[in-house]
Amino acid sequence: MANTEFGYVRNFEQWDPLPPSNWIVVRIDGRGFTKLCKKYDFQKPNDRRALDLMNAAAAEVLSQFVDVVLAYGQSDEYSFIFHESTALFDRRASKLATSVATAFTAEYCMRWTEAFPDSPLERPFPTFDGRCVAYPKRKVLRDYLSWRQADCHINNLYNTTFWSMVLKGGLSTTEAEQALKGTVSSDKNEILFSRYGINYNNEPLIYRKGTVVYRSYDAELGTNGEESRGKPADLTSKTQLKKEKKRKRKAKIALEHVDIIGETFWETHPYVLGSSTGKDSGE
Amino acid sequence: MANTEFGYVRNFEQWDPLPPSNWIVVRIDGRGFTKLCKKYDFQKPNDRRALDLMNAAAAEVLSQFVDVVLAYGQSDEYSFIFHESTALFDRRASKLATSVATAFTAEYCMRWTEAFPDSPLERPFPTFDGRCVAYPKRKVLRDYLSWRQADCHINNLYNTTFWSMVLKGGLSTTEAEQALKGTVSSDKNEILFSRYGINYNNEPLIYRKGTVVYRSYDAELGTNGEESRGKPADLTSKTQLKKEKKRKRKAKIALEHVDIIGETFWETHPYVLGSSTGKDSGE
Amino acid sequence: MANTEFGYVRNFEQWDPLPPSNWIVVRIDGRGFTKLCKKYDFQKPNDRRALDLMNAAAAEVLSQFVDVVLAYGQSDEYSFIFHESTALFDRRASKLATSVATAFTAEYCMRWTEAFPDSPLERPFPTFDGRCVAYPKRKVLRDYLSWRQADCHINNLYNTTFWSMVLKGGLSTTEAEQALKGTVSSDKNEILFSRYGINYNNEPLIYRKGTVVYRSYDAELGTNGEESRGKPADLTSKTQLKKEKKRKRKAKIALEHVDIIGETFWETHPYVLGSSTGKDSGE
Amino acid sequence: MANTEFGYVRNFEQWDPLPPSNWIVVRIDGRGFTKLCKKYDFQKPNDRRALDLMNAAAAEVLSQFVDVVLAYGQSDEYSFIFHESTALFDRRASKLATSVATAFTAEYCMRWTEAFPDSPLERPFPTFDGRCVAYPKRKVLRDYLSWRQADCHINNLYNTTFWSMVLKGGLSTTEAEQALKGTVSSDKNEILFSRYGINYNNEPLIYRKGTVVYRSYDAELGTNGEESRGKPADLTSKTQLKKEKKRKRKAKIALEHVDIIGETFWETHPYVLGSSTGKDSGE
């Protein structure tokens, strides 16, 4: 039963590295979460416990994958950004996507009881599919994140209005859907305010902005406000690389519900998409 | 905050369908299981509880993915075979790999306490990476499965001998490694028998052959022994497709520790790699 | 000016091998041939000189690439079939597509004057784009070839009718187009016969069937009619491989205008898609 | 003979677009040019007629493909740079590689007699393979071009020395090879100067630097030295796009033998890698 005769089957495996010098986004999405929301009776339009669970799982992913510089999540999706210089798994797409997706899933399932103590998890357990996307430039990556956050806003405004109509206004879901057809943002803001006394801008940030998770080095800032470690020295030696890895492991993992479309977040945290080598990456 | 301005970022996502008329193997592998084995003190050379846990997780994957016709597992790996005609997720590689890997991981983690009641699971939780491989012909797929089962045999014979030397023979791991360098199968069989009174062929099949999980229709055979449903009629109508899906869902999921290199298994279960449409697939 | 500093750019090149055990089709298509037909005043509905030129170029490609077992051409396209076992260029898609397309283009341009002695070729010279497609099974490859030949028939019947209406019937191209809208094959046959006295089935085979080019070993058949070399012995040694290559180089390159949708062609030339190693390829 | 039954084979064709916002390099290489050089007795170390032929073919490619902003060639290779924003052929790799390679090949073969009036071209005609590589950032693209030009220098210095030893020094090729083993640039410069009186820096630029071909707008500069059209206005309307295309077609195609590793060339021709839309591309 020698193995050599069959070994040729290995040649069918495709080598799937993502191109160098691209930011890698691993986005995961809940599979069949519409059904899951109903089954476990998630609150509408947003279930805080469910979002907290998503965020906790994302934080755990960051602590396991030191090359993730930032993650952004909303609803049942999360995007993990690997630095453009990452060499993790030789940048192989399938390894990256499955490793992140399974780490997230494991944490989500195992922590479920904490989030929903009265609703024990039943089979089929929640799972997440995932995919890798390569973004060649910082600006394009920023636009990707803006796209997801704009999507969060659009959906949340719609859902908040829709469920106000249903839960407070007594409309059927069909009636609410009909009523909202063709409305623009200002219409929905107006409906919320005039009919239900809701000022959308006072809604919790976690619902309106989603959640940003990042490896924070803010605490390391020197007393004079200078950033002490955000721009690390050139990493040429192995010792330096080890130090850098240790630094990442030690970094605090911050969760915030802030705007990432504008410049403020990025200007106050320049190291997040900063060069990991201290060298100009060519942009 | 309109989304249209950023929507172009979608174009960076690659469309990754696997080619039609190819058998799709999703193979998952435990990440960092060497460390995990030590941490939870797995028995050597095989930990039956760990294998049972793997097998239970695999069975759950089969029950969730009706297009998986067979799975084969050994050690910390499992290969799931999707029928060459599957249209699941439009055959997209990343969806298939992540969906299977997360379903397996969720089950593995959630069922852990059953398998290891005295060793509560700690972070980082066990995870599995995964990848898709497309095999163009039944024969090549069979060779893939033979490759994995031959690998199981080779590793298990080595490990059984190695750990006998260490645990029964009192050798250090380094000494055992040295002693086994250059030995062939017959040498190891001889060492096992002469030194430790072990007839390798009497070792449990689960260790020597690994585990085959498949959707079994054997019970459906007519009283006269004829196979009644293994070769379903041509599926042209939607009704037929629904019936077929229902039939798959109802099928018993069988776990066996049998040889799949020879012809016997395949001859006695011709429907496993049979045409799902009743049409000749062109081989 | 050392090169080491820039060498990293090599890592951006993608490794693009086509999967093993798949038939590789390189299909080339004339670029901008509608314009070219007008410029050089090609005869309608078919220009025999242009087709002969295509066929001559295809024959040259076969003589240069010994792993091409058959080619099929019609109009301004040609499909070259590489044996499923070919190892040419490590099966890299871009090398295969560009090598075939440039060899075809060179021959087409250089031989132009022979075909069109009164119309010297002007810039931009004719060129062909190309692509590789992998077909996992003989049957699927056969269906691919049937698809192209059925396409030849459909287009030629249409064009023959259309140009009869225009050239013989005096209709404008717009009128002919309108008149043919919604017609089926039998309608077109009827128009040809009743209006223009053309029995479509008597039209030249080259227009109705296209052209099949293959490496023919028919002449090598023994006097008793037995095929002497169509099924070569198992090729394990280098000597054998060299012999095989020599045999291919010596084979006559046959051009025929025959049906390849039915079984006859394939039954009378079993070696064309035969196993190159004498081993069963797994189908 | 309806075509619908076979149409499914189209699904095997892979969709192969290169990712957006990446510079696309199509590099072509002469196939079997070592043999060709001998056959047609190319002069050593450089054959000016052969290089001129390469350059003429490259210029023709630029005139046909308006989205090529620059090409760089040396020896029997040429790299064509498509602007990162090109939408040609929907950025499909196989279409781009084959279209460029066949256009180059056609020109090379058809113009051969002009370059080598006494050596008529024989079969097999010269051909070129090709491949696409995507470069995510201007800096990486610049490094790619530097890599090729540094390669030109290294090879030319070696070849100039080697052939001086053989042709002027009377060494055999084996002796020359041995003598040059382990030498560095300064050694070769010294050998050239002391033994053969050759100051390498006085060798023709075309041999030392290769050839840069680009779409030049230099003549369009206003009288006051201001660049009038290098940074076109934002192209939003179809009219604008047409104008832009026309402008490209009218541009002079310049051939120069200059350094492109340093900044000078790029600073004096900023439009070459400039934004085609006038918008910041995100770098």
pLDDT at residue A240 in the model? 81
pLDDT string in tens for chain D (283-residue length): 557 899 999 999 999 999 999 999 999 999 999 999 999 999 999 999 999 999 999 999 999 999 999 999 999 999 999 999 999 999 999 999 999 999 999 999 999 999 999 999 999 999 999 999 999 999 999 999 999 999 999 999 999 999 999 999 999 999 999 999 999 999 999 999 999 999 999 999 999 999 999 999 876 544 443 444 444 445 567 888 888 888 888 889 999 999 999 999 999 999 999 985 544 455 6
Look at residue A119 and tell me if it is in a domain: yes
pLDDT at residue B2 in the model? 58
Q: Please compute the mean of the pLDDT values over residues C142-156 and round it to a whole number.
A: 98
Which of A43, A263, A251, A29 has the alpha carbon at shortest distance from A148? A29
Cβ-based contacts of C13 with chain A (< 8 Å)? none
Domain count, chain B: 1
Q: Is residue B202's pLDDT more than 90?
A: yes
Beta strands in C32-191 (DSSP E): 68-74, 77-82, 128-135
Distance from CA of A19 to the nearest CA of D (A): 9
Distance CA D29, CA D24 (A): 16
The encoded tokens of residue B99 equal 């969906």
pLDDT at residue C219 in the model? 66
Look at residue C50 and tell me if it is in a domain: yes
Beta strands in C16-171 (DSSP E): 23-30, 68-74, 77-82, 128-135
If you measure CA to CA, which chain A residue comes closest to D21?
Answer: A136
Q: Is residue A282's pLDDT more than 60?
A: no
Look at residue C28 and tell me if it is in a domain: yes
Report the residue of A8, A10, A11, A84 to disrupt the C interface, i.e. the one with the largest count of C CBs within 10 Å: A11
pTM score, whole prediction? 0.93
Give the highest mean pLDDT range of A210-219, B160-169, C234-243. B160-169
pLDDT at residue C250 in the model? 85
Q: Is B76 labelled as part of a ligand binding site?
A: yes
Check if D109 contacts C (Cβ < 8 Å): yes
CB contact under 8 A, C19 and B137: no
- Which chains are within 8 Å of A by 3+ CB pairs? B, C, D
- Which chains are within 8 Å of B by 3+ CB pairs? A, C, D
Check if C22 contacts B (Cβ < 8 Å): yes
Check if C78 contacts D (Cβ < 8 Å): no
Q: Please compute the mean of the pLDDT values over residues B154-162 and round it to a whole number.
A: 98
Q: What is the pLDDT of residues C263-279, one digit of tens each?
A: 999 999 999 999 855 44
Look at residue B282 and tell me if it is in a domain: no
Render C192-253 in DSSP notation, one character per residue.
HHHHH---GGGS-HHHHH-EEEEEE-GGG--TTS--SSSSPPP--SHHHHHHHHHHHHHSEE
Q: Which of A42-46, A248-252, B140-144, B158-162 is least confident?
A: A248-252
Render chain B in DSSP notation, one character per residue.
--STTTGGGGGGSPP-BPPSS-EEEEEEEETTHHHHHHHTT--SS--HHHHHHHHHHHHHHHHH-TTEEEEEEETTEEEEEE-TT--GGGGBHHHHHHHHHHHHHHHHHHTHHHH-TTS---SSPP-EEEEEEEESSHHHHHHHHHHHHHHHHHHHHHHHHHHIIIIIT---HHHHHHHHTT--HHHHHHHHHHHH---GGGS-HHHHH-EEEEEE-GGG--TTS--SSSSPPP--SHHHHHHHHHHHHHSEEEEE----SSSHHHHH-TTTTS-SSSS----
Q: Please compute the mean of the pLDDT values over residues B208-217 and round it to a whole number.
A: 96
pLDDT at residue C276 in the model? 59
The encoded tokens of residue A234 equal 């050139």
Look at residue C175 and tell me if it is in a domain: no
CB contact under 8 A, B20 and D14: no
Q: What is the pLDDT of residues D50-98, one digit of tens each?
A: 999 999 999 999 999 999 999 999 999 999 999 999 999 999 999 999 9
| Type of residue found at A267 | E
User: What's the pLDDT band for C248 if we cut at 50, 70, 90?
Assistant: confident
Phi/psi of residue C77, each to 5°?
Answer: -125, 155
pLDDT at residue A252 in the model? 94
CB contact under 8 A, B136 and C22: yes
CB distance C140 to B21 below 8 Å = yes
The encoded tokens of residue A168 equal 């407070």
> Which is it for the CA torsion B35, B40, B41, B45, positive or negative?
negative
Distance CA D259, CA D54 (A): 19
Distance CA D69, CA D25 (A): 11
CB contact under 8 A, D19 and A140: no
Q: Please compute the mean of the pLDDT values over residues A148-152 and round it to a whole number.
A: 98
pLDDT at residue D103 in the model? 98
Distance CA C228, CA C230 (A): 6
Which of C226, C229, C233 has the alpha carbon at shortest distance from C279? C233
Look at residue A53 and tell me if it is in a domain: yes
By residue range, what is the domain housing residue D56? 19-149
pLDDT at residue A2 in the model? 58
Look at residue C56 and tell me if it is in a domain: yes
CB distance A122 to A104 below 8 Å = no
pLDDT at residue C2 in the model? 58
Q: Please compute the mean of the pLDDT values over residues A113-125 and round it to a whole number.
A: 97
pLDDT at residue D229 in the model? 43
Q: Please compute the mean of the pLDDT values over residues B249-265 and round it to a whole number.
A: 95
**Looking at residue A142, which CATH number applies to its domain?**
3.30.70.3000
**b/e burial code for range D248-270 (CB count within 10 A of at least 16 → b):** beebebbbbbebbbeeebeeebe
pLDDT at residue B69 in the model? 97
Length of chain B counted residue by residue: 283
- A227 or C60: which leads in pLDDT: C60
Q: Is residue B283's pLDDT more than 90?
A: no
Other C-beta atoms closer than 10 Å to the C-beta of D160 total: 23
pLDDT at residue C233 in the model? 47
Check if A117 contacts D (Cβ < 8 Å): no
Distance CA D33, CA D46 (A): 13
Distance CA D141, CA B97 (A): 34
Distance from CA of A277 to the nearest CA of D (A): 16
Q: What is the pLDDT of residues A49-86, one digit of tens each?
A: 999 999 999 999 999 999 999 999 999 999 999 999 99
Q: Is residue C141's pLDDT more than 80?
A: yes
Q: Please compute the mean of the pLDDT values over residues C29-53 and round it to a whole number.
A: 97
Look at residue A64 and tell me if it is in a domain: yes
Q: Please compute the mean of the pLDDT values over residues A166-178 and round it to a whole number.
A: 97
Distance from CA of C101 to the nearest CA of B (A): 24
CB distance B92 to B13 below 8 Å = no
Q: Which of A265-279, B121-135, B138-152 is least confident?
A: A265-279
* Global ipTM: 0.92
Q: Which of A161-170, B116-125, B270-279, C128-137 is least confident?
A: B270-279
